């Protein structure tokens, strides 16, 4: 496939329009996107990737906005990917996140992009990971990925990050929010946002009670709980300080995390590539015939797979 060198070069030079275009290309999860990633990959791995997850309406976008202000204060540039379940798939058009309060438009050190959750052929986690690589290659110091903590896709996205922030808010059943979503285990920092509300401390206590049930070995990171008011910006500096503390404390362990993630990622890509190859190697209609045989119970699924593997 011919590679658009011009696009690659412009991404590496940090050209914003090229970055936007490149994200659209990788969102399509086709050969062009794979070629682009191949071209830029050696220039990635430098950005610090921050995953932010939590239920809808917990104030993630508002908080990320504040967070970006802190990053800029620290002389760091920031790329933001907001995975927005409410935005329809636009084929890559740039959507303004409706709740952004601060205008970063005039700031070349900030790039914000909304991505729809539907319409990604290769899966949301893959599209998001590749979009993060584009921002990384373009030279952004930090890449923030905001995602709604509901499904496996979102957990995958956050576990691909260097640090995971889980956002909770005061309200009914809040002590269970994180546990229900299965993100309790992946949180490096708990954020109790909307701390301007009365019962914010109830959430803090619920989280610390559940953390108290876990044992943290020597040198292990015990997730701190940070109260924020994203509307006023209160606590954003403390949140930033905790992220910095984690980054410095977890230096070598961060490498292990990337190794573990990369191993899983390669296996997933291998599985997908292998399925593509296997299906292509079968005579037309053969796969469907095997499915029919399994449904009819004349063939078991393990033997069906074995018969395909033999032929590849």
Ligand X SMILES: Nc1nc2c(ncn2[C@@H]2O[C@H](COP(=O)(O)OP(=O)(O)O)[C@@H](O)[C@H]2O)c(=O)[nH]1
Shortest CB 195 distance to ligand X, Å:
6
Span interacting with Mg ion, options 60-68, 112-120, 135-143, 182-190, rule CB under 5 A: 60-68
Strand partners, 111: 79
List the single partner that 24 binds among ligand X, Mg ion, none, CB under 5 to 8 Å by kind: none
Q: Is residue 230 involved in binding ligand X (CB under 6 A)?
A: yes
Q: Is residue 231 involved in binding ligand X (CB under 6 A)?
A: yes
106: phi then psi, degrees, rounded to nearest 5: -85, 0
Which of 77, 114, 147, 193 forms a contact with ligand X (CB under 6 A)?
193
Per DSSP, 42 falls in state G
Q: CB–CB of 194/229 below 8 Å?
A: yes
Spatial distance between the Cα atoms of 125 and 156, rounded to a whole number of angstroms: 6
List the single partner that 57 binds among ligand X, Mg ion, none, CB under 5 to 8 Å by kind: ligand X
Q: Is residue 228 involved in binding Mg ion (CB under 5 A)?
A: no
Q: CB–CB of 147/158 below 8 Å?
A: yes
Token pair belonging to 129: 């990971």
Shortest CB 60 distance to Mg ion, Å:
5
Q: CB–CB of 83/157 below 8 Å?
A: yes
Spatial distance between the Cα atoms of 205 and 199, rounded to a whole number of angstroms: 10
Span interacting with ligand X, options 22-30, 59-67, 257-265, 301-309, rule CB under 6 A: 59-67
Which of 8, 53, 58, 61 forms a contact with Mg ion (CB under 5 A)?
61
What is the crossing angle of helices 251-281 and 301-311, to 10°?
Answer: 90
Q: Is residue 194 involved in binding ligand X (CB under 6 A)?
A: yes
The helix/strand/coil state of 107 is coil
The H or E element containing residue 84 is strand 78-84
8 vs 193, beta carbon nearer Mg ion:
193
Per DSSP, 273 falls in state H
Span interacting with ligand X, options 3-11, 122-130, 191-199, 251-259, rule CB under 6 A: 191-199
196 vs 202, beta carbon nearer ligand X:
196
Instruction: Give the binding-site size for ligand X (rule: CB under 6 A).
Output: 15
239 vs 290, beta carbon nearer ligand X:
239
Shortest CB 35 distance to Mg ion, Å:
31
Q: Within 13 A of 7's CA, how many CA atoms are on the CB side?
A: 20
**Residues interacting with ligand X, by CB under 6 A?**
54, 56-62, 99, 193-194, 196, 229-231
């Amino acid at each position: 496939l011919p590679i658009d060198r011009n696009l690659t070069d412009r991404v590496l030079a940090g050209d914003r329009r090229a970055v936007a275009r490149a994200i659209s290309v990788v969102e399509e999860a086709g050969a062009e996107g794979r070629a682009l990633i191949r071209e830029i990959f050696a220039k990635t791995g430098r950005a610090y990737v921050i995953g932010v997850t939590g239920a809808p309406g917990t104030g993630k976008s508002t908080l990320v906005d504040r967070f970006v202000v802190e990053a800029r204060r620290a002389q760091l540039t920031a790329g933001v990917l907001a995975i927005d379940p409410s935005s329809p798939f636009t084929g890559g058009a740039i959507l303004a996140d409706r709740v952004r309060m601060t205008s970063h438009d005039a700031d070349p050190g900030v790039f914000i992009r909304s991505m729809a959750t539907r319409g990604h052929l290769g899966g949301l986690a893959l599209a998001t990971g590749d979009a993060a690589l584009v921002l990384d290659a373009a030279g952004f110091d930090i890449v923030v990925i905001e995602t709604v903590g509901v499904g496996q896709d979102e957990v995958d996205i956050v576990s691909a990050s260097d640090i995971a922030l889980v956002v909770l808010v005061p309200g009914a059943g809040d002590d269970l929010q994180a546990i229900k979503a299965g993100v309790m285990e992946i949180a490096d920092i708990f954020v109790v946002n909307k701390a301007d509300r009365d019962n914010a401390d109830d959430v803090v206590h619920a989280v610390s009670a559940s953390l108290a049930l876990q044992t943290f070995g020597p040198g292990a990171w015990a997730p701190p709980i940070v109260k924020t008011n994203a509307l006023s910006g209160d606590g954003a500096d403390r949140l930033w300080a905790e992220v910095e503390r984690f980054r410095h404390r977890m230096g070598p362990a961060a490498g292990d995390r990337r190794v573990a993630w990369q191993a899983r990622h390669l296996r997933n890509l291998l599985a997908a590539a292998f399925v593509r190859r296997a299906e292509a190697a079968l005579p037309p209609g053969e796969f469907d015939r095997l499915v029919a045989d399994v449904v009819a119970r004349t063939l078991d699924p393990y033997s069906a797979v074995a018969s395909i593997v033999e032929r590849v």
